[in-house]
């Protein structure tokens, strides 16, 4: 297949590219700065998101587009300016993808557009699946709702569209390196009440589930990209401590986290129990359905 990826130079994008190339596919990475990278037989870098770039002129007929572009949620305090950039980066990238599809004489079969479990809002008692239609409240739910609203325009162009709602991604980059720091300092423990859910997913399953969504015509709309066994924060931390052979014993109180991080503290103190109903029903085989082996594969 011929597959274009935005955000292809990031953590998830690089892992996905490596897997697609290993499987024999041709990858086209859409980037603002294509001159920074060297093409290979299986990976081509194509300029986009600048006026001088016309990616439609440099791309073949594509089988799929994967849109992973967007500013990180956890790289700094959520000032009003930062929140604007988080939203705008996702909206502009998705609108640019829709514009690209409109210009293509031959449309791709599928668009897999990154999204997030933040759509569902926060709950300590509910379990959310793709059947949950109403978004939660708050900044993250608003961002995801607007993000997916832009992506759905692809369906009007005859393109099957998948909203890949990512959970907490576990890998050598991303959230996990920050999670392990307190444990390495021997001060690991639950965050806040510890009752909040953490819907996690191993990077290998992120890649596997994106590929599965591309290859499975029956999958469209919301698609929860999470492991089937989410954990409460207190249990996640306990298992993390065991894998690292470090104690899980000093709790971090909610007020201290809120003081330090402001509104961004919702990423640590709030959560949702999200399960991948569509993936399970369509027969996806998880590499890491359980947390302990997932952490061991990364940290050992």
Q: Higher-confidence residue: 76 or 290?
A: 290
Whether residue 159 has pLDDT greater than 80:
yes
Phi, psi of 32, deg, nearest 5? -65, -30
Helices (DSSP H) in the chain: which residue ranges? 11-22, 80-103, 139-151, 176-184, 203-215, 233-244, 254-261, 266-269, 277-281, 291-299
Res. 142 pLDDT band, cuts 50 70 90 = very high
Question: Once rounded to an integer, what is the mean pLDDT over residues 75-93?
Answer: 92
pLDDT value at residue 74: 81
Rounded CA-CA distance 237/176 in Å is 11
44 and 31 Cβ atoms separated by less than 8 Å: no
Tokens of 292: 């302990």
pLDDT value at residue 75: 74
Rounded CA-CA distance 170/48 in Å is 29
pLDDT value at residue 209: 98
194 and 251 Cβ atoms separated by less than 8 Å: yes
- Name the strand (E) or helix (H) holding 198: strand 197-198
pLDDT tens for residues 253-266? 999 999 989 999 99
- Contacting residues for 68 by C-beta, under 8 A, at least 6 apart: 5, 6, 7, 8, 10, 12, 13, 16, 114
pLDDT value at residue 9: 93
Query: Residue 1: helix, strand or coil by DSSP?
Result: coil
Whether residue 129 has pLDDT greater than 80:
yes
- Contacting residues for 135 by C-beta, under 8 A, at least 6 apart: 119, 120, 121, 141, 142, 144, 145
Rounded CA-CA distance 261/282 in Å is 39
Q: Domain limits of the chain?
A: 2-299
Question: Once rounded to an integer, what is the mean pLDDT over residues 10-33?
Answer: 97
What is the average pLDDT value for the chain, to the nearest integer? 96
197 and 128 Cβ atoms separated by less than 8 Å: no
Tokens of 284: 């996806």
Res. 76 pLDDT band, cuts 50 70 90 = confident
CATH entry, 2-299, from 1.25.40.10, 3.90.950.10, 3.90.79.10, 3.40.50.720: 3.40.50.720
- Contacting residues for 163 by C-beta, under 8 A, at least 6 apart: 113, 115, 148, 151, 221, 222, 223
Q: Say which range, 10-19, 213-222, 261-270, has the weakest mean pLDDT.
A: 261-270
Apex CA 75: angle with CA 73 and CA 81, to 5°?
70
pLDDT tens for residues 58-70? 999 999 999 999 9
Rounded CA-CA distance 97/150 in Å is 10
pLDDT value at residue 77: 87
pLDDT value at residue 7: 95
Rounded CA-CA distance 300/295 in Å is 8
Question: Once rounded to an integer, what is the mean pLDDT over residues 153-162?
Answer: 97
Whether residue 185 has pLDDT greater than 80:
yes
């Amino acid at each position: 297949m011929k597959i274009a990826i935005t955000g292809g130079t990031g953590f998830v994008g690089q892992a996905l590219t490596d897997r697609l190339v290993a499987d024999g596919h041709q990858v086209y990475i859409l980037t603002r700065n294509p001159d920074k990278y060297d093409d290979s037989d299986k990976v081509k870098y194509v300029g986009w998101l600048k006026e001088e770039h016309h990616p439609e002129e440099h791309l073949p007929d594509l089988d799929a587009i994967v849109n992973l572009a967007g500013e990180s949620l956890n790289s700094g305090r959520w000032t009003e300016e930062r929140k604007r950039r988080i939203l705008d980066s996702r909206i502009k990238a998705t609108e640019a993808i829709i514009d690209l599809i409109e210009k293509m004489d031959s449309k791709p079969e599928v668009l897999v557009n990154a999204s997030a479990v933040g759509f569902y809002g926060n709950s300590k008692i509910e379990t959310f699946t793709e059947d949950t239609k109403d978004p939660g409240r708050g900044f993250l739910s608003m961002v995801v709702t607007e993000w997916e609203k832009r992506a759905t325009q692809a369906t009007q162009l005859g393109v099957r569209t998948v909203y890949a709602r990512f959970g907490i991604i576990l890998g050598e980059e991303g959230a996990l390196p920050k999670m392990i720091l307190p444990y390495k300092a021997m001060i690991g423990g639950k965050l806040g009440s510890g009752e909040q859910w953490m819907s996690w997913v191993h990077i290998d399953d992120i890649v596997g589930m994106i590929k599965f969504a591309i290859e499975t015509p029956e999958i469209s709309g919301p698609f929860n990209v999470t492991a089937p066994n989410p954990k409460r924060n207190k249990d996640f931390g306990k298992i993390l401590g065991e894998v690292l052979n470090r104690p899980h014993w000093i709790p971090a109180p909610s007020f201290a986290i809120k003081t330090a991080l402001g509104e961004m503290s919702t990423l640590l103190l709030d959560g949702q129990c999200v399960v991948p109903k569509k993936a399970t029903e369509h027969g996806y085989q998880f590499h890491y359905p359980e947390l302990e082996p997932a952490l061991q594969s990364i940290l050992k």
